[in-house]
Chain A
Amino acid sequence: MALLEVTSLTKYYGDTAALRDISFEVKKGEFVAVIGPSGSGKTTLIRCINRLIPASDGKIIFDKENILNLRGNALRKARAKIGMIFQHYNLVERLSVIENVLHGRLGYKSSLEGMFGVYSEEEKEKAFNIITLLGLDDYVYRRCDQLSGGQMQRVGIARALVQDPRMILCDEPISSLDPSSSKVIMDYLKKIQKEFGITVVVNLHQVDVAKKYAQRILGFNGGSLVFDDEPGELSKKQIYKIYGTEAGELIID
């Protein structure tokens, strides 16, 4: 059953097309990697799905609702069901780990409760459990600007998880991290997908990482979807098609 169904999605910035007539489906509980060179439309795609960027045309059906038609509270509710992880973590770095993680609950909060940061006992309990799950229990009250990059990204994952999301979108989650932290983060994302059955859609620059972790790979070039299949089907020829000949050679060697 498809959890996310993108049909003829198009995005223009002025006259330049960032996404051209994109259609694909993501099944519930699937791990999907999106690859492609810089400027191929990966980031635009991810941000169109949760409406951080308004799409120009098309349909995005998530959990039986067309995201592009939602407004106000309905849009907030839909966003609450979709977690997001960023390349630069996007934490409020002056606040503590627990405060940042609880921000993931804001989609469920009334205006006043959320503004003053009033959370229920269950919410706090849940946040603590998730922080422990991600191995950050020694840092609960630590300010985020004192953490390493890998730790900050784990806070980002915790904030997404506390939303009780059906799906998590990741925009180049390991591009600012060293190889060992990258592996830790990718392993956590895999674990989330396997153990909690949460759908994961992740933008990646590393083809080998995409092949290792993903069940399906979407390849973009110049705003068009040029590859949509299992990692095993990603042949040399396909990589050339996604990255162009010169960059393709570098990736394959």
Chain B
Amino acid sequence: MNSLLTNSEGAGTYLKSKRIRLFLFFVGLFAAAALSMAATNYHIEDSFTAIPKVIVWMARNLVPDGKSLTRLPKILDKLFETVLMSVAASVSAAALSFPVALAGSATSCKQRWLMYSARGVASFFRNIPIVAWAMIFLLTFGQSPFTGYVALFFASFGFLARAFIEAIDETAAAPVEALRAAGGSYGHIIFQGVLPSVLPQMVSWVLYMIETNIRSAALVGLLTGSGIGFTFSIYYKSLQYQSASLVVITIVAVVLVIEAVSNKLRRLIL
């Protein structure tokens, strides 16, 4: 039947049916949103009219006052502890991730069963959200900074192992082949071929992990009673909103600073 149509007619029908499908997709999307709102008794107009009230409340309760500023040194102290914990968790997780990634990459591991089990371990740890880790270890170790560290460690480990496997697969295959052909041993191939090829990407991922962990540490701290998250929850629960908001502002500031620093570092190493 197509052969009876000219090319331009054929293309015209094709484009038209594509437009209709796109239109139906958006109609469906809006219908789904409307139905969900109706089912949950959510009135969008109420949310918008409430905005001015929210702003007034925020201005009255969330702008740090003099009293909260006297707590700044204490807050910064806790924040510093949190930053150190993120760095420690990220770096130690990276140290464990590297050998697992070597086992999990098809480039550096010729044993199929080992490769699949390493990949399985990495996926398992990566797919459990950090809050779930925090809650699991809360039951095991109780409320302590160590619990927070362990939660960050396991979540970072899964993520980094996965990222390192991809980095090795992507960049190291060619040098690995060359060093094998030259008679290099497994150790030579890893240290002289794989490591120099993937090191910049690995460092970049660890820096990213440190940034992410500082953000997550605030949340994990709420649960595990450590670091800046705990400080926030104390102020929040004792209704000292000015101090709680000061905590949030300092977290944002520190995350921005760390991001700027790690971007500088990234440019230096790449």
One of B177, B184, B188, B196 near A90 (C-beta < 8 A): B177
User: In chain A, residues 51-93, which have Cβ atoms closer than 8 Å to a Cβ of chain B?
Assistant: 52, 75-80, 82-84, 86, 88-93
B residues less than 8 Å from A83 (CB atoms): 182
20 sampled A-B residue pairs with Cβ under 8 A: A75-B183, A79-B182, A86-B174, A90-B174, A90-B175, A90-B178, A91-B175, A92-B175, A92-B197, A103-B179, A103-B182, A106-B179, A106-B184, A106-B185, A108-B183, A109-B184, A114-B187, A115-B188, A163-B182, A163-B183
Contact residue among B174, B185, B196, B200 (Cβ-Cβ distance under 8 Å from A114):
B185
Task: Tell whether B117 is near chain A: CB-to-CB under 8 Å.
Answer: no
Inter-chain CA distance A93–B181, complex, in Å, is: 17
Number of A-B contacts defined by CB within 8 Å: 90
Question: Is A95 in contact with chain B by the CB < 8 A criterion?
Answer: yes
User: Is A50 interfacial (CB-CB < 8 Å)?
Assistant: yes
Q: Please, which residues of chain B bring their CB within 8 A of the CB of A88? A: 174
Closest to A95 in B: B196
Q: A88-B174, A94-B197, A117-B192 are in contact. Are A111 and B181 (CB under 8 A)?
A: no
* Chain B CB within 8 A of A116 CB: yes
The CA of A50 and the CA of B181, in the complex, are separated in Å by 7
- Is B180 on the interface with A (CB-CB < 8 A)? yes
Closest CB-CB distance, A182 to chain B, in whole Å? Answer: 20
Bound-state CA distance A202–B180 (Å) is 19
Within residues 100 to 145 of chain A, which ones have a CB less than 8 A from any CB in chain B? 103-104, 106-109, 111-112, 114-117
Cβ of B196 to closest chain A Cβ, rounded Å: 5
Instruction: Kindly state whether residue B221 has any CB partner on chain A within 8 Å.
Output: no
| A76 to B197 CA separation, bound complex (whole angstroms) | 22
Q: A79-B183, A80-B183, A115-B187 are in contact. List 8 more A-B contacts (CB 8 A).
A: A75-B183, A94-B200, A106-B179, A106-B184, A106-B192, A107-B184, A114-B184, A160-B182
- In the assembled complex, the Cα of A142 lies from the Cα of B177 at a distance in Å of 22
Nearest 6 CB-CB pairings of A with B: A107-B183, A80-B183, A79-B183, A90-B178, A106-B184, A84-B181
B196, A104: Cβ atoms under 8 Å? no
For chain A, give the interface size range: 35 or more
Closest to B191 in A: A115
**Which residue on A lies nearest to B184, using beta carbons?**
A106
- Name B residues whose Cβ lies closer than 8 Å to a Cβ of A: 174-175, 177-185, 187-188, 190-193, 196-197, 199-200
Specify which chain A residues have a CB less than 8 angstroms from the CB of B177 in the assembled complex: 52, 86, 90
8 Å CB contact of B182 from A94, A95, A106, A115? A106
Which residues on A are within 8 Å of B, measured CB to CB?
Answer: 50, 52, 75-80, 82-84, 86, 88-95, 103-104, 106-109, 111-112, 114-117, 156, 159-160, 163, 169
The chain B residue with its CB closest to the CB of A93 is B197
| B182 and A107 contacting across the interface, CB-CB below 8 Å | yes
Contact partner, A76, options B178, B183, B192, B200, Cβ 8 Å: B183
How far is A156 from B175 in the complex, measured between Cα atoms in Å?
A: 11
Which residues from A are CB-within-8-Å of B188? Answer: 106, 109, 111, 114-115
Q: What separation, in Å, do the CA atoms of A77 and B178 have in the docked complex? A: 15
B181 touches A94 (CB 8 A): no
B residues in contact with A159, CB < 8 Å: 178, 182
Closest to B198 in A: A94
Min distance, Cβ A165 to any Cβ of chain B, angstroms: 9
Give the docked Cα–Cα distance between A94 and B171 (Å): 11
Contact call B196/A94, Cβ cutoff below 8 A:
yes
Query: With A106-B188, A106-B192, A115-B187 in contact, is A91–B181 under 8 Å at CB?
Result: no
Given contacts A52-B177, A84-B178, A86-B177, whether A92 and B183 have CB atoms under 8 Å apart is no
- Complex partner residue of A106 from B174, B183, B199, CB under 8 angstroms: B183
Asked if B192 and A92 make an inter-chain contact with CB atoms under 8 angstroms apart, the answer reads yes
Q: How far is the CA of A45 from the CA of B199 in the complex (A)?
A: 34
Q: List B contacts of A103 (CB < 8 A).
A: 178-179, 182, 184, 192-193
B170 to chain A, nearest CB (A): 13
Known contacts A90-B177, A114-B188; is A80 also within 8 Å of B196 by CB? no
| B175:A84 contact, CB within 8 angstroms | no
